[in-house]
Structure 1
Amino acid sequence: MPRILTLLATLVLGLLPALPATAAVTVPVGAQFTDTSGNLLHAHGGGVLKVGSSYYWFGENRNADGTFRYVSAYRSTDLRTWEFRNHVLTQSSAAELQVANIERPKVVYNAATGRFVMWMHKENGRDYGEARAAVAVSSTVDGAYTYLRSFRPLGHMSRDITAFVDTDGAGYMISAANENYDLHVYRLSADFTDVTTLVRMWAGDHREAPALFKRGGVYFLLTSAATGWQPNQAQYATATSITGPWTAWQNVGDPLTYGSQPAFVLPVQGTTGTSYLYLGDRWAGAWGGPVNDSRYVWLPLQFPTSTTMTLTYARQLTIDTAAGTITPTGTGYDRLTVRHSGKCADVRNGSTANLAPVIQYDCNGGTNQQWRIQSISGGHVQIIARNSAKCLDVNGNSTADGAALQQYSCGTGTNQQWTLQDAGGGYVRLVARHSGKCADLPSSSTANDVQFKQYPCNGGTNQQFTRSEQ
């Protein structure tokens, strides 16, 4: 960080109330966050900027209909205890923001001007025809930002967006263009409020949600495919120059990026080194919920070599910002064992196909017997098979007794939404939202390869499961 920024931050932060001293904290994966006042934290699609010893998290805070309400800012020293600071951009910040969509705000600091610059994607609030970038500035990190304008960079469409300051002080903006089929890297002007040149383009790759970071002289660009609210396989490319040449896209994470889409990658630098934290959004639109009900998926990135990275799931993280360490705990996957038989819920033959039956089978530790149970709106969950990244689903959205349970690509259907109902004694029932019926092993069979069905909940042990982490 430039010395001028460190000095500025010291002066500014000295006037602000002190935050708690940093210590190792536990951060859940796939949860909502609350601030120090107990309010839900809304920083969706956002990014984090470190100023002095504090991290500032900026992101989307939307109206119930999904349109722009605020860009909200929060402050933390430990990445878990977040203090609400300000709605730094609001509908009253500019006339064109009164009805708008503002997405993926990213704030960078310009050491030459002493100003904080916010880049974002702007639409008119009615459709996605504008496809514009927008920029705002502030003299303080969490003060009111002055909205400058929206525009199409060098005449190109601009949607999902991020901003990046290189180690030499140069600024860049990366955005999806041409209906998200192209991805552009722009060099910013000296004050970071405009674009000057298009320095790199991926044409026809259909990538969005860019997150750019640099590690050991290597640039990593992490992206998502363009599938709307539904998660997909994240991919990344690397280069030793931001203009390229870049490697081919490489997969990272599972086929759904653990039910998330990239938003940002945060370097966490401390006394023992620097860790890199993936910040992803589990968008509520994927299950038909409002944007502000989205969850946050934070996971540590790991680097087998200087030019490759991996992303694995966890139940929670221990983050020590002073040391610069991030330690995952638990796999985040559960085995579901039927009480009456002691057998496991299993995707038949380890299939990855839609409509593959979900059966009971002797527990064997296979990934087709491991499930990610992720919270969604209204106290419901989706139950996702590890081997296929597909959802536990009631065939045909049927409400009839005897309808079969299967796996199917995750979507917004309530036949893929379940309540974990306490059955006492450490057991749970899986109750389908659309029908109110229970996952049931017909006739209380103890045989292998019997398919689960739905039936009215009746208290039977063939409708009760234990949940144990694998």
Structure 2
Amino acid sequence: MSFSRCARAIVAALAGAATVLALTGAPALAAPVTVTNGTQFTDTSGAVVHAHGGGVLKVGAYYYWFGENRNPDNTFRYVSAYRSTDLKTWEFRNHVLTQSSAAELASANIERPKVIYNAATGQFVMWMHKETATDYGQARAAVAVSSTVDGAYTYRGSFRPLGTYMSRDITTFVDDDGAGYMVSAANENRDLNIYRLTADYTGVAALVRSWPGDVREAPALFKRNGVYFMLTSGATGWSPNQQKYSSATGITGTWSPWANVGDGTAYQSQTAYVLPVTGTAGTAYLYLGDRWGNSLGGTVNDSRYVWLPLRFPSATTLAMDYYPTLVIDAAAGTVSGPGGYTAVVARHSGKCVDVVSASTADGAEVVQYACNSGANQQWRRRDLGNGYVQLEARHSGKCLDVADASTADNARIVQYTCGAGANQQWQVQGAGGGYYRLVARHSGRCLDVTGGGTGDGVRLIQYACGAGANQQWSG
């Protein structure tokens, strides 16, 4: 065959393949997307995605997301399923479990549904936490199965693992050898147990590891490069708290002592799941968290999502930073925060603009502090297109703000939810030598370090602009 005929044949084959993909509805390769944190996601129809306390399973090119979809009184209504190729564009597929799926679901609480696939049986198996609609006295695990990932699931009933153990917050995990595991909080949430499942994943075979008396819930178990990680929260109801993790080289242990991860409230969220996102560049690990609507004065269906990339300082440790938005490239297997963050450094002291204690709260004080790698010392300029910028803190997504929009000298500088106020708008004015001043739009005063102090923790204020190096910044 001549080169030209060969080339034409290749082109024709590629065109034919494209036609097959179009006819079969196979998804196109996912492009990078930006996901905004602390929001309610919407599906392709514009409806709110209700997949709270859920988990994600990849089947073929699609990620399937299952989660709680509740009645207005917070009781069980559905387990709803959505699918996506890029982890942003979610298509509603089905209410895969409903109140009419079984008699005991007509008036119930169903929480934290997780679906795993059993390659030996060809069945998709859902595990969940089951209670009555009126109290949490049952503390049972429940199981449902389906031959299709997003079809109707057949409810198999609820029980206490091994007939003995209470079972509340729950997750599942399938190891590299095909063994299935279920993890749940027991003993009024005082204990956390790992159970090995039966070969078909529909029952509990054995208790293989327990953390007695540690009071951990909301478990997420995953494996990275041969190391197991267990990420959990404390038990404080709907209120967020300090999350902790443990790691081990074998699922039965020895597990490391619990260590803190993220800030003291997990950036106002609670673990739902950790999703490995594998692509051409490797595997990223994506924290999926719920900012519960109940903690915001609403219901579960008012909840918002907090998704964050996990990073691994060593083979057995993990860390989690906050980003207001994420860039997810599912095809490449990468998850990252947006670029453009940098330290803002005072000329007179060499210290960085810092949010005290890495707080994510409105009104948290801003000081100068010895520069380090903390996300509470990293800021991004948001160009407002009017000659002014906002300065957004990486760890919280909040903006540098003059407290109470004061126009007086010595007014405190804080972080606050970004808005349209002129007290969050700053003009960048050259000060010579590569330094600049930050001038507040509402007052015409400059960002200043109190009294020109050079120590850690000296408060930032606004003050009438002058020539002092304590009003000059780099970065």
Question: 1 CA distance for matches of 2:336 and 2:376?
Answer: 26
Question: 2 CA distance for matches of 1:294 and 1:16?
Answer: 36
Match status 1:137 vs 2:149: no
Match status 1:64 vs 2:72: yes
Name 2:176's counterpart in structure 1.
167
Name 1:238's counterpart in structure 2.
247
- Provide Cα deviations, 1:11-36, integer angstroms capped at 9, x if missing partner: xx999744453111111122211101
User: What pairs with 1:177-188 in structure 2 (closer than 5 Å)?
Assistant: 177-188=186-197
Question: 1 CA distance for matches of 2:112 and 2:394?
Answer: 30
In the alignment, is the contact (CA less than 8 A) between 1:90 and 1:97 conserved in 2? yes
Deviation of residue 68 (structure 1)?
0.6
In the alignment, is the contact (CA less than 8 A) between 1:19 and 1:76 conserved in 2? no
SS of the residue corresponding to residue 337 of structure 2 reads strand
- Provide Cα deviations, 1:286-344, integer angstroms capped at 9, x if missing partner: 12111111111111111121111111111211111111111211699999xxxxxxxxx
User: What pairs with 1:344-423 in structure 2 (closer than 5 Å)?
Assistant: 350=356, 422-423=420-421
Name 2:304's counterpart in structure 1.
295
CA spacing shift, 1:356–1:117, aligned 2, 3 Å: closer
Question: 2 CA distance for matches of 1:45 and 1:215?
Answer: 22
In the alignment, is the contact (CA less than 8 A) between 2:41 and 2:49 conserved in 1? yes
Question: 2 CA distance for matches of 1:190 and 1:14?
Answer: 38
TM-score w.r.t. the length of structure 1 is 0.72
Name 2:165's counterpart in structure 1.
156
In the alignment, is the contact (CA less than 8 A) between 2:183 and 2:193 conserved in 1? yes
Question: 1 CA distance for matches of 2:342 and 2:282?
Answer: 29
In the alignment, is the contact (CA less than 8 A) between 2:376 and 2:393 conserved in 1? no
The residue type paired with residue 153 of structure 1 is: P
Name 2:215's counterpart in structure 1.
206
User: What pairs with 1:8-157 in structure 2 (closer than 5 Å)?
Assistant: 17-154=25-162, 155-157=164-166
Deviation of residue 44 (structure 1)?
0.5
The residue type paired with residue 295 of structure 1 is: R
The residue type paired with residue 302 of structure 2 is: D
- Provide Cα deviations, 1:347-389, integer angstroms capped at 9, x if missing partner: 8xx4799x99977989999998999xxxxxxxxxxx99979x9
In the alignment, is the contact (CA less than 8 A) between 2:219 and 2:272 conserved in 1? yes
SS of the residue corresponding to residue 100 of structure 2 reads helix
Deviation of residue 88 (structure 1)?
0.3
Select the residue among 277, 280, 283 that pairs with 1:268.
277
The residue type paired with residue 225 of structure 2 is: G
CA spacing shift, 1:269–1:352, aligned 2, 3 Å: closer
CA spacing shift, 1:26–1:37, aligned 2, 3 Å: same
Select the residue among 223, 235, 238 that pairs with 1:226.
235
In the alignment, is the contact (CA less than 8 A) between 1:313 and 1:331 conserved in 2? no
Could you list the runs of 5+ residues in structure 2 that have no partner in the other structure? 1-20, 345-352, 380-391, 404-411, 427-441, 451-461, 464-474
CA spacing shift, 1:311–1:331, aligned 2, 3 Å: farther
Question: 1 CA distance for matches of 2:342 and 2:72?
Answer: 32
CA RMSD of superposed structures (Å): 4.0
Question: 2 CA distance for matches of 1:211 and 1:74?
Answer: 20
Question: 1 CA distance for matches of 2:235 and 2:178?
Answer: 31
Runs of 4+ residues over 3 Å off in structure 1: 13-21, 330-335, 350-353, 355-371, 383-387, 418-428, 446-449
In the alignment, is the contact (CA less than 8 A) between 1:356 and 1:406 conserved in 2? no
Question: 1 CA distance for matches of 2:121 and 2:160?
Answer: 24
CA spacing shift, 1:359–1:199, aligned 2, 3 Å: closer
Name 1:189's counterpart in structure 2.
198
Select between 115-124 and 252-261 the one with higher mean Cα deviation. Answer: 252-261
CA spacing shift, 1:406–1:101, aligned 2, 3 Å: farther
Question: 2 CA distance for matches of 1:273 and 1:367?
Answer: 25
TM-score w.r.t. the length of structure 2 is 0.71
* % same residue: 63
In the alignment, is the contact (CA less than 8 A) between 1:275 and 1:324 conserved in 2? yes
CA spacing shift, 1:25–1:206, aligned 2, 3 Å: same
CA spacing shift, 1:68–1:357, aligned 2, 3 Å: closer
Deviation of residue 239 (structure 1)?
1.0
CA spacing shift, 1:159–1:15, aligned 2, 3 Å: farther
Name 1:312's counterpart in structure 2.
321
The residue type paired with residue 218 of structure 2 is: A
Question: 2 CA distance for matches of 1:150 and 1:171?
Answer: 18
The residue type paired with residue 62 of structure 1 is: R
Name 1:284's counterpart in structure 2.
293
The residue type paired with residue 223 of structure 1 is: T
Deviation of residue 284 (structure 1)?
1.4
SS of the residue corresponding to residue 301 of structure 2 reads helix
